[in-house]
Amino acid sequence: MITSMAPTRAPLPRFPHDFLWGVSTSAHQIEGAAGERGPSVWDAFSAVPGQVKDGSTATVACDHFHRYREDVALLADLGVGAYRFSVSWPRVHPHGDDRVSAEGLGFYDRLVDELCAAGIRPLPTLFHWDTPLAVEERGGWLNRDTAARFAEYAAVVADRIGDRVERWITLNEPAEHTLLGYAIGEHAPGKELLFDALPVAHHQLLAHGLAVQALRAAGARSIGVANSHGPTWAASDAPEDTAAADFYDVLLNRLFSDPLLLGRYPDPIGELMPSPSLDADLKTISEPLDWYGVNYYQPTKVGAPGLEPTDFNGVTIPPQMPFAPRDIEGYPVTDFGWPVVPEALTELLLAFRDRYGDRLPPIMITENGCSYEGLDDQDRIAYLDSHLRALHRAMAAGVDVRGYFVWSLLDNFEWAEGYSQRFGLVHVDYETLERTPKASYAWLRDALRGQRG
Ligand code: FCB
C-alpha cells in the first residue's frame, strides 16, 4: 500500500446513513475472456487499425472474467455497499438471437453470489455499449427490432439473477453511444451518420422502456438508467453561440432525459424522429422509474461551428454539426484533458430538480471519476473529495440523491483511448494483471469508514 505526504483534508460532510456507496465498471472494459463469449461491435471496431489509439483490444483487458473473486475481495476491503457492473449481452446471447450461453449467464450468477456473500449489493447494467456483432449485422441500433431483442435479453438475465438483484440499470449513456458510435464514428460501430443517427437514440430509449416492462414482469422492484449529463455553457453571449449551446444541450442532455421523465422529446427532436408510432413509443419510454442515474464528468462549453472540424479531447466534431465544443479555461484538467469542475455537478443537479420537479425520481450518481497516472494519485483524491462536497451541497439544497458510484474500480480499456487513460482506484499492470490499490483507494476506504463511524 502506498504511503505519501498527502495533504490533510477536512473530513467529508456526513451523508445520510442509508446512502449507497459504490464503484462502477463495465463488462467490455474489464472482463477480457473474449474467446469465451460471442463477438461484439467493439471487437470488430478495435480490430481495425487506427480506431483505438494505442492499437489495443479488450481481448484480455483486466481478465476480470477469471479474476472476479480477487476483484470482489478488493470491493469488500474498500467497504462499498454496492457494485455497479455490466452484463455483456454477447456473453449471454453469443449469436445475437435467443440461444443462451449457459457459461456466459453462469458467470454473472457466480459474480452475484460472490458479491452477496461479501455483503455487497449487485447493481447490473444491461447494456454498456457492447452490442452482439450479430445484432449489429442486422442493423444494430438503427433497427427498431433491436429494442425488442434487448428486452428479451433483459428477461433472460432477470430470470437468472433477479432473485438476488434489487436494483437494475437498463442502459449506460445512450447519448454517447448515439453520438460517438453512430453520428461521428469515434466509437464502435464506427458509423458517421451525423443526424441520420437519431433513430439510434429512439431505439435505445424504446429498448429501455421495453426492458423496464420485462424486468418488472420478472419481479424487479427498483429500476433506473445511467444517463450522462453535464451543464452546457455558451462560449459567449452572442446569439449564434447561445443557440449552438442550447442545441447541444438538447442533443446531449434533454434528448435522453425529457422522454424518460416527461414522456416527450424536446423541440425540435420530435419532428425528426422517424417512428411509426411515436406516441405509443413515448408511453413505453416513460414507464415510471424508481430512480434516475446520472453519470457526471464535466460541463461543456459550446459555440457556433466554424468551417473546420473541432478537435475536442481527441474527438473530431465535423463542421456539419451545428455546434463546436470549446476548451474550458481556468480549471485544472485530468490526464484526459477533461476540466475538473465540481461546482458544475451542483449546478447540474439543481437544474435537474428545477426542470423536472415532481417528475424526477431520486437520483443516484452512477459514475464520477477521473484519469490520472500513478499510484500516489493525490489528484484523484482531490477530484473525488471536491465532487462529493459539491454533491453534498446539492443535497443540502434539497436534491434527493441516494447514492454515489466512483468510476472506476480498476484501470481498464478506455474505449477509443485503449489502455492509455487510467480511471481506477486500483492500478492494473497489463503485463502481469497484478492489481495494486492506489492512494485514492485507501482514501475512499477511510472516508467510507468515517461515514459509518
Ligand atoms: C463514461 C463511460 C465509461 C467510461 C467513463 C470514463 O462515459 O460510461 O464506460 O468510459 O466514461
The whole-angstrom distance between residue 80's C-alpha and the CA centroid of its chain comes to 19
Largest CA distance in the chain: 62
pLDDT at position 447 over 50: yes
169 CA distance to ligand 1 middle (Å) = 15
- For residue 234, the model assigns a pLDDT of 98
Non-local CB neighbours of 102 within 8 Å, separated by 6+ positions: none
Residue 55's Cβ-side half-sphere holds a number of Cα atoms within 13 Å equal to 1
280 CA distance to ligand 1 middle (Å) = 31
Decide: 248 in ligand 1 pocket, CB within 6 A. no
Mean pLDDT, residues 148-153:
98
18-52: pLDDT as tens digits? 999 999 999 999 999 999 999 999 999 999 999 99
250-265: pLDDT as tens digits? 999 999 999 999 999 9
Decide: 411 in ligand 1 pocket, CB within 6 A. no
Cell of 121: 449489493
Annotated catalytic residue 173: yes
Q: E strand or H helix at 148, and its extent?
A: helix 145-161
Which of left, alpha, beta for 435 (phi over 0: left; psi -120 to 50: alpha)? beta
Decide: 176 in ligand 1 pocket, CB within 6 A. yes
Of 31, 186, 367, 414, the catalytic one is: 367
Domains of the chain by start residue, with CATH: 20-451 (3.20.20.80)
Decide: 173 in ligand 1 pocket, CB within 6 A. yes
Kindly give the interhelix angle for 439-452 and 378-396, rounded to the nearest 10 degrees.
30
Reported confidence tier of residue 5, pLDDT bands at 50, 70, 90:
low
Residue nearest to atom 5 of ligand 1 (CA): 407
- For residue 433, the model assigns a pLDDT of 98
**Cα distance between residue 448 and residue 438, in whole Å:** 16
Mean pLDDT, residues 76-99:
98
Ligand 1 atom index nearest CA of 226:
8
Min mean pLDDT across 73-82, 204-213, 298-307, 343-352 is at 298-307
Cell of 247: 442545441
pLDDT at position 3 over 60: no
Report the sign of the C-alpha dihedral through residues 186, 188, 190, 196, in that order: negative
239 CA distance to ligand 1 middle (Å) = 32
**Cα distance between residue 292 and residue 262, in whole Å:** 13
Of 31, 114, 136, 173, the catalytic one is: 173
**Closest to 245 in 3D by CA, of 330, 303, 161, 294:** 303
240 CA distance to ligand 1 middle (Å) = 30
159-183: pLDDT as tens digits? 999 999 999 999 999 999 999 999 9
- Look-up: residue for cell 465544443? 325
Residue 56, preceding peptide bond in cis (omega within 30° of 0): no
Best mutation site among 52, 53, 125, 295 for ligand 1 pocket (most ligand atoms within 8 Å of CB): 295
317-368: pLDDT as tens digits? 888 888 999 999 999 999 999 999 999 999 999 999 999 999 999 999 999 9
178-215: pLDDT as tens digits? 999 999 999 999 999 999 999 999 999 999 999 999 99
Residue nearest to atom 9 of ligand 1 (CA): 26
Reported confidence tier of residue 315, pLDDT bands at 50, 70, 90:
confident
Decide: 414 in ligand 1 pocket, CB within 6 A. yes
346 CA distance to ligand 1 middle (Å) = 20
pLDDT at position 285 over 50: yes
Residues pairing with 435 in the sheet: 428
Residue 166 vs residues 295, 317, 357, 367: alpha-carbon distances, Å: 20, 40, 26, 19
**Closest to 51 in 3D by CA, of 42, 62, 60, 39:** 42
Contact criterion met (CB below 8 Å) for 147 and 211: no
Mean pLDDT, residues 288-302:
98
Decide: 423 in ligand 1 pocket, CB within 6 A. yes
298 CA distance to ligand 1 middle (Å) = 12
232-251: pLDDT as tens digits? 999 999 999 999 999 999 99
Q: Is 311 helix (H, G, I), strand (E, B) or coil?
A: strand
Decide: 186 in ligand 1 pocket, CB within 6 A. no
Cell of 148: 425488442
Q: What angle do CA 302, 303, 309 make, to 5 degrees?
A: 95
**Cα distance between residue 426 and residue 443, in whole Å:** 12
- For residue 1, the model assigns a pLDDT of 47
Ligand 1 atom index nearest CA of 423:
6
**Cα distance between residue 253 and residue 265, in whole Å:** 11
- For residue 453, the model assigns a pLDDT of 85
Decide: 415 in ligand 1 pocket, CB within 6 A. yes
236 CA distance to ligand 1 middle (Å) = 29
